[in-house]
Structure 1
Amino acid sequence: MGRGRVRWAGLGLVAAVLAGCGQVAPPAPEPPAPVPSVTAPSAPVPPAAPQAAGAQETLVVADFGGDTVTFVDPAAGAVGSVRVGTAPWGVALGPDGRAWVAAAEGVGVVDTASRRVTATVPYRTASGPVTTGEYRGGGMGIALSPDGTRVYVGVNVPGKQGVLEVIDTATRQVTDVVQVGRRPFDVVVARDGHEVYAVGHDSFDVTAVDAGTLRPRRMEVAPYGTEGGLGSWLKPHYAEVASDGRLLLPFEGERLAVLDPADGRVTVRPMTADTHQHGTALAPDGTLLVVGTGPIGGSDHGPSLTVRAPDGGERVIPLDGPHEEVAVSRDGRTAYVTGGFSRPGGWDGVTVVDLTSGRTHRVAAGKLPLGVVVLPSR
């Protein structure tokens, strides 16, 4: 087991550690004092139930470098896999234990108890030939409605606007298609289910879709501006919905864009990791986890996991090599960071991070895994 070097940084030290990536000279972020903590809950967050003695979680990861999902024991590595479709990206877990996996040609439905594929739901939208790699067409971000009756999947249509396809989980059919931003890296849902949010990577935006009317509205999220267009690195990737309903979108280990979907206003908060950032997760207590993939400029720091407390204080835990997405254990004590990478690079496994000590260990699993969900303890 390796021990990760933990770098601590409070907001009082932000001015000393923030550095640009060398491509854009952004304006200074707003000071944190005038606005309350972005993850401060509007209602008490119930504590996670403790795991029983000897209980062990199992992960499901989407093998972007292959055509499978892999079941992973965080202590031992891969314990099985099933084929779901080409270059699967995101994975969402339903309350009934079914996993919905966004592959290039359709959404694979996996019964996680029996570990078998029960259906494949083809997309209604044509997204070109079924291919692999960073820019492939097909499914990317994916999420379920809180009641488990709908799946929302962002579909990349190369060279065009993306779409959000809506799947009825009972019939396993696409019922609606809504235009959203370009390359919808991530899809998240409001906690009460009234809206769905698609993060448009190449269009610098979040599209809010009303779950009832399916009417979309675009909200720009570009704390560095949109200079460079499609060639810019400074774009949104993944998001989390905080307990107050606002969306949290990290940028470059320097800025946390806080989007209020009620009016589209973006507030910027400082961050400290100074590295290109992708995947996100929220722990049960509101702690935000953010995956740093590594430098995009000469002064940037390497891969890391940012652990951002609800009051804005951060720990930065270095990681060995690029990673993409992250999930948190049900007790909030452990993070699981996938070693795949949406860009070239990455590795075939998961880094397990003890969020108390900062210790890390790597387990071999899957083929460039991206999306990850945590199954209930057995």
Structure 2
Amino acid sequence: MPQTVQGVIARAKGAPVELVDVVVPDPGPGEAVVRVEACGVCHTDLHYREGGINDEFPFLLGHEAAGTVEAVGEGVTEVAPGDFVILNWRAVCGQCRACLRGRPWYCFATHNATQRMTLTDGTELSPALGIGAFIDKTLVAAGQCTKVDRADPAAVGLLGCGVMAGFGAAVNTGGVGRGDSVAVIGCGGVGNAAIAGARLAGATTIVAVDVDARKLAAATDFGATHTVDSSTEDPVEAIRGLTGGHGADVVIEAVGRPETYEQAFYARDLAGTVVLVGVPTPDQQVTLPMIEIFGRGGSLTSSWYGDCLPSRDFPMLVELHRQGRFDLDAFVSERIGIGDVEAAFGRMHRGEVLRSVVVMGGGR
């Protein structure tokens, strides 16, 4: 039987979010219902509310989540009721040209649940990133459930988006290795995850760049060896000065703005790599001299979800967390209740937190 539970929606562009009753159908073929235990408050959710993703309102917000599988539909074999899972927003198909070439992290046919959750009047909801996890229970494609060993859901659920995106930008996309120099521009949750990933991968020089002293202090805790306040000094010159005058081997842009991307471009070594993981808005443009692109070699690349494969990367990172080698707890700034999302958006926008995490049935 369908269940009616409480969830957080964005009904219209810019309007405050609402806590409302949501109807969750029984899982159909290839689907699963997951009892959500915790869900991080991500910038992407705010982008949805502000109409920065698309205009398919109303949105059921939330996507950085962990919980327990409650029921599965016909044909589901990868998870079973009772499994503890992290939700991912790229359920790979296994059949597209990327998957068949052994690059499933580029899957061109990722999928979501076929059925829609609705309001009690029948209005269909658009789940954020195909998940919609500011809710007691959510309906997803079974492939969006990655089984892991049980751990604190508030911490490991962050692997569902921001932490995985940052870690993967450094390790998977950027290929950071032992002895590399790395610069990270933008030290929010994603940027600090890139810093932590670079440290774990063996980078010896890790430069954190931001305009917020609080974020730079946090970056040091995550593993930055140097910090640059770009509101008071030129970050390109500073990064070059800290890397023997050459620039960094890998520069990770975690802001998503033209001016910071240009800084990243000029702050890399001649054969270095720029990784764009910050999310730009559709109207933004970047202009670079072609001769500079040609003359510098290396690579300019973007990172989708940290180029991750959830079935490979989530269990590995949970195990590293359990071993004390990758501190996911450090990303959790506060634990809040499901009714506190709107206030959490404000704290996030003001740069007061890395992540607020909604704990179902809990709070601070």
TM-score (norm 2): 0.27
Structure 1 or 2: larger strand share? 1
Q: Which protein has the larger Cα radius of gyration, Structure 1 or Structure 2? A: 2
Which is bigger in relative contact order (C-alpha 8 A, separation at least 6)? Answer: 1
Structure 1 or 2: larger helix share? 2
